Amino acid sequence: MTREDDVLHVVGGKPLGGEIKVRGAKNLVSKAMVAALLAPGTSVLKNVPEIRDVQVVSDLLRLHGVDTTVDGKKGIVTIDASHVEMPAVSDVETLSGSSRIPILFSGPLLHRLGEAFIPSLGGCRIGDRPIDYHLETLRKLGAEVDKEHEDGIHITAPHGLKGTKIHLPYPSVGATEQTLLAAVLAEGKTELSGAAIEPEIMDLIAILQKMGAIISVDVDRTIRIEGVKQLKGYTHTALTDRIEAASWAAAALATRGDIFVKGATQPEMMTFLNVYRKIGGEFNVTDEGIRFWHPGGDLKPVAIETDVHPGFMTDWQQPLVVALTQAKGLSIVHETVYENRFGFTEPLVKMGATVQLYRECLGSLPCRFEQHNFEHSAVIFGQTPLEGRDIDVPDLRGGFSHLIAALTATGESNVRGISLIDRGYADFRGKLTALGADFN
């Protein structure tokens, strides 16, 4: 049953307008906090957003005996990993189900303690999201992975980790981070081909370099890591959350509004900005951030395919689809990263959108889901007026997209399970108020 404070009552149909600030990227900050475990010293991470994922990783670090302080208001996390210990399995399990980050503790814990325990993983329900690449990477580096336990996966490295050649069948963000975090202190060189090169990964590499690591990235997605004997703490300012920035940009477009996203940066958002312009959205890049607005008139439809960086991010897809319901004509979205990321469109259809899902690949990018029966392509026909409804939030990005839909729709909506959005959108209620949204 949904708690009363977990529901947002939204009166939609008003353009959002004003200024909001976006801090560091959720998908870098959590990994940067794990990286601090690699060094027996103090690390300081700045520009940290007040989101639940930061609390989850802080709690996990503390469970491992690591002194972790979070100053939410200032956005500073201080981690002193001088002391690391193995927590009770039952304690780690209390946090399982809330995040996929625990798997990334493996490398640092193997280096510091010689063992690691991974509880069954949480994170958003957007497809199977297996961890086979992670485990294969750890095995190749010399870890022994024991999956015979009911409570989770036990990993040991009786002979330490040793550099090796690893190839990823798909440029997985998490598996690339896994390799980085495990190989920096491994003996010898590691060559990772088929790696992901998302800006958040580049920022993680920058942090590891500050800590003393030697890592190079080649044009052909090969990352080379020369293992070093020890690392030291870092001080780093996290790069901006380009997913949150794009989500607010989509909200501006869908509600015919005008939002200045302070902190948003252009280089990481270029692919998004091109699509935004093609749809007919306006933006202006300044030193402080990016202003996004609907210039009036009709929005234009687009055909997009999600992809790994530098392609169009899968996490941008969901909020943008809501804006595409307000474009005049047929838009096509081919999702090639997750097999099951269109479930959120069902409530949109109930609100009045016309969205048809297809199992076929409606695009030309090589796609792992071809012939696999997954509804991973969508055709959106607009412009359709949306009407307020009661909606259940399915996952983080889908949930924020429902919120945008409720704000776009005429009439009232109850968006239930809203706390899921706190995982990745800092103070979104405060930001909605600043933008003049009508909700309670």
- Measured from the CB atom, is 172 or 190 closer to ligand EPZ? 172
- Measured from the CB atom, is 68 or 98 closer to ligand EPZ? 98
CA dihedral over 47, 16, 353, 421, signed as positive or negative? positive
Cβ neighbours of 360 (radius 10 Å):
13
Helix (H) or strand (E) holding 305, with range, is strand 303-305
Long-range contact set of residues 278-285: C-beta below 8 Å, sequence gap at least 24: 278/302, 279/253, 279/323, 279/324, 279/327, 280/327, 281/249, 281/252, 281/253, 281/323, 283/249
Which residues in 371-400 contact ligand EPZ (CB under 6 A)? 396-397
| Residue 53: CA count within 13 A, CB half-sphere | 27
Asked if 314 interacts with ligand EPZ (CB under 6 A), we say: yes
Closest contact distance (angstroms) between CB of 131 and ligand EPZ is 5
Q: Are 48 and 25 in contact (CB under 8 A)?
A: no
Residues 6+ apart with CB under 8 A from 149: none
Asked if 250 interacts with ligand EPZ (CB under 6 A), we say: no
- Measured from the CB atom, is 53 or 80 closer to ligand EPZ? 53
Q: Which of 8, 27, 197, 406 binds ligand EPZ (CB under 6 A)?
A: 27
On the 0-12 / 13-18 / 19+ scale of CB atoms within 10 A, 57 is: buried
Asked if 132 interacts with ligand EPZ (CB under 6 A), we say: yes
86: nearest Cα among 120, 55, 113: 113
Binding mask 403-432 for ligand EPZ (x = CB under 6 A): ---------------------x--------
Looking at residue 185, the DSSP 8-state letter turns out to be T
Q: What is the DSSP string of 240-260?
A: B-HHHHHHHHHHHHHTT-EEE
Closest contact distance (angstroms) between CB of 258 and ligand EPZ is 26
Binding mask 208-247 for ligand EPZ (x = CB under 6 A): -----------------------------------x----
> How many helices and strands in the chain, by DSSP H and E?
13, 23
Binding mask 72-111 for ligand EPZ (x = CB under 6 A): ----------------------------x-----------
- Measured from the CB atom, is 82 or 170 closer to ligand EPZ? 170
- Give the range of 107-115, 166-174, 219-227, 270-278 binding ligand EPZ by CB under 6 A: 166-174
DSSP-based three-state secondary structure for 321: helix
Asked if 130 interacts with ligand EPZ (CB under 6 A), we say: yes
DSSP-based three-state secondary structure for 435: coil
Closest contact distance (angstroms) between CB of 374 and ligand EPZ is 10
- Measured from the CB atom, is 197 or 380 closer to ligand EPZ? 197
Could you tell me the two tokens for 135?
């485990």
- Give the range of 8-16, 173-181, 201-209, 403-411 binding ligand EPZ by CB under 6 A: 173-181
Residue nearest to ligand EPZ as judged by C-beta position: 174
Q: Are 338 and 368 in contact (CB under 8 A)?
A: no
Q: Which of 173, 250, 418, 426 binds ligand EPZ (CB under 6 A)?
A: 173
Could you tell me the two tokens for 309?
């960086």
The reply to whether 315 sits in an annotated binding site is: yes
Could you tell me the two tokens for 69?
């302080």
- Measured from the CB atom, is 382 or 424 closer to ligand EPZ? 424
Total of residues contacting ligand EPZ (CB under 6 A): 27
> Which phi-psi region, left, alpha or beta, contains residue 271 (left: φ > 0; alpha: ψ -120 to 50)?
alpha
Closest contact distance (angstroms) between CB of 20 and ligand EPZ is 18
Report the catalytic residues.
Answer: 124
Binding residues for UDP-N-acetyl-alpha-D-glucosamine are 100, 315, 337
Give the footprint of ligand EPZ on this chain (CB under 6 A).
26-27, 30, 100, 124, 127-134, 170, 172-175, 196, 243, 314-315, 337-338, 396-397, 424
